[in-house]
Amino acid sequence: MIRQQLRDWIVAQGRVARGDLEDDTPLLEDRLITSLQVVELILFLEALRGRPIDATRLVPGCFRDIDTIARNFLEL
């Protein structure tokens, strides 16, 4: 359910069709999410978690794909 909400958010950014988005599709590398949209992604994830993300966990690679995000921030 939460993973689906994350997938819906990424598709809503308008850079990828639902059918082309896999859990291991590179999000930043393929520019499906831009630098400026990462801030919104962080806030979206915080809303899903119900608590802020520790800034020390925002390291290169932490938003690589849906699997990585779920593992790092959503405890899925």
Partner 1 sequence: MTQATPWLERLCRISAAQSVPDRACAWPQHLGPDDWCMSPELLSPYGTAMYEALDERQRRRLGFFEAVNFFSLNIWGERQLIAGIAPRLYPQDCDATSRYLQHFLAEENRHMALFAEFCGRYAGKVYRQKTWRVPRAHAEGEEEFLFFARVLLFEEIVDRYNVAMSGDSRLPPIVRHIHRTHHGDESRHLAFGRRTVVELFERHAARWAPEALARVRQELEAFLAASWREYYNPEAYADAGLPDPYGCRLRLLADDARQRHHAAFSADSVAYLRRHGILAAEGAQ
Residue 1 burial class via C-beta count within 10 angstroms: exposed 0-12, middle 13-18, buried 19 and up: exposed
Q: What would the two tokens of residue 34 be?
A: 């831009």
Q: Does 31 bind partner 1 (CB under 8 A)?
A: yes
Q: How big is the CA angle at 22 (ends 52 and 37), to the nearest 5 degrees?
A: 40
- Name which of residues 50 to 69 contact partner 1 (CB under 8 A): 52, 55, 58, 63
Q: Does 46 bind partner 1 (CB under 8 A)?
A: yes
Q: Does 8 bind partner 1 (CB under 8 A)?
A: no
CB of residue 20 to partner 1, shortest distance in Å? 20
